[in-house]
Amino acid sequence: MKKVEIYEVGPRDGFQNIKEYIPLETKLEIVDGLVQAGIRHIEVTSFVSPKAIPQLKDSLELSRRCLDQYPDVDFIALIPNLRGAQAAVQAGIKRIAYVVSLSASHNKANINRTHEQSYAALQEIMTAYPQLDIILDLATTFGCPFEGKVPASRVVEFLEEYITLGVKQVCLCDTIGIANPAQVRDSIAALRTAYPQLELQVHIHDTRNMGAACTLAAIEAGVTKIQSTLGGLGGCPFAPGASGNLATEDMIYMLNEMGYDTNINFERILNLAKEEVKRIPAGVYSGHHIHVDATSQCFR
């Protein structure tokens, strides 16, 4: 039985889009529900300025309490710069996600940096904190709202300097849900050929209801680490047309039914999506997907 690891990114990627502050205790209850369902990789927050994303103003306290309560869970934090890395280290986080967009236009719109500035910032972080385990989130891997699609060869070319820098893990992010299964397979095959040592993840948005299909294509191409969000919560306000992420409960249902080993209890994760996430302020519960007013940075 093939094992697939689910990386739940809802507490960061989903929650940041909720305008009204979610109480810390509610966040902790949802994290507890994820852990009880079997999730062992959780992107729990982002260390950014509270002025930029007020929802994540509790990042330090949330991280510390999660790390104390669940020492065996892999908690990840997204960080945008050296200051964020410093805060993550102070909180006890050992694994971070750092975002750069394949598209120069989206990189500027999303994090207000040129490609050169993004590279220099990561170099600075890696020099200051060599102990951190870094996942490079490559946004707009499969297409950009401003620049359109690019060939797989461009992805290979773009990542070369990052791999030379020492990056060992890359998450291929379909920021606006524009990918198709053939494109996903082609990109992964090209990267496997160019960088066989590289550990890959995928993060697919479900804009065109292609999230599960593209993620399954990635799994069949050899990727075993999959990102998703409880209830499909999330989206990208700096990517016109982008809706929510792939719903964790949908992905678990499909993989469990197909005989993959996720080590996650589907009934528990579904009940969590129904009973817990709908309590989030400003979320409009519809079926098992939640649609929100995306008003803050998406990052990927």
- Active-site residue list: 236
Which residue, among 222, 192, 277, 188, has the nearest Cα to 8 in the 3D structure? 277
With residue 7 as reference, give the H or E element that holds it.
strand 5-8
Contact status, residue 24 vs residue 66, Cβ threshold 8 Å: no
Taking phi first (over 0 means left), then psi (-120 to 50 degrees means alpha), and beta for anything else, what does residue 112 get? left
- Cα angle 22-52-200, degrees, rounded to a multiple of 5: 85
Q: What does the alpha-carbon distance between residue 232 and residue 243 come to, in Å, rounded to a whole number? A: 9
Q: How far from the centroid of its chain's Cα atoms is residue 71's Cα?
A: 21
* 65 Cβ contact list (under 8 Å, min separation 6): 28
If you search the block for the tokens 């950009």, which residue do you land on?
144
Strand partners, 171: 137, 201
Q: What does the alpha-carbon distance between residue 252 and residue 12 come to, in Å, rounded to a whole number? A: 20
Q: Which two tokens stand for residue 68?
A: 């104390």
Q: What does the alpha-carbon distance between residue 220 and residue 160 come to, in Å, rounded to a whole number? A: 24
Give the number of other Cβ atoms within 10 Å of residue 2's Cβ.
Answer: 11
For 149-173, the DSSP string reads ---HHHHHHHHHHHHHHT--EEEEE
Q: Which two tokens stand for residue 62?
A: 């949330």
If you search the block for the tokens 């299964």, which residue do you land on?
181
